Amino acid sequence: MATHGIVQTAAIDATEVRQVLGTDSARQAIVFSPPSGGLEYTVSTERDFSHGEGLVLAGGAAAVEITRARHGDAVTRAWFARLGSAGPVTVGFLVVSGEGCGCK
């Protein structure tokens, strides 16, 4: 199977947790991009969490890369997001799936 990547977006806000990715056993990596400006959002594999209880992505910071090689099956799980302040805002992320990714 070939490796392929796709850029996806999701609108998130502070009022509720939103599922941004479902489970995918072929997923090899996810790269979450930081939001623009002074905003920040949190991603987690937990369905119920508060802002800050997971991986926090802040505006101006580096992207966060989750790979199968470094993080095990966490990359294959469903992922959820919540904005830290009033919104909504659209965030982007890259999803890499398939065999032979070489994602380290």
**CA Rg value for the chain:** 13
Q: Name the stretches of the chain with pLDDT < 70.
A: 1, 100-104
Distance CA 22, CA 96 (A): 14
CA distance 55 to 71: 13
Question: Who contacts 96 (Cβ-Cβ below 8 Å, separation ≥6)?
Answer: 3, 4, 5, 27, 28, 29, 30, 31, 103
8 A C-beta contact, residue 75 and residue 101: no
- For residue 72, how many other CB atoms are within 10 A of its CB? 11
Query: How confident is the model at residue 1, as a pLDDT?
Result: 52
Give the whole-angstrom CA distance, residue 98 versus residue 93: 17
Give the residue from 27, 31, 39 showing the smallest Cα distance to 9: 31
| Res 104: pLDDT | 53
pTM: 0.87
Sketch out the chain's domains with CATH numbers: 4-97 (2.60.120.770)
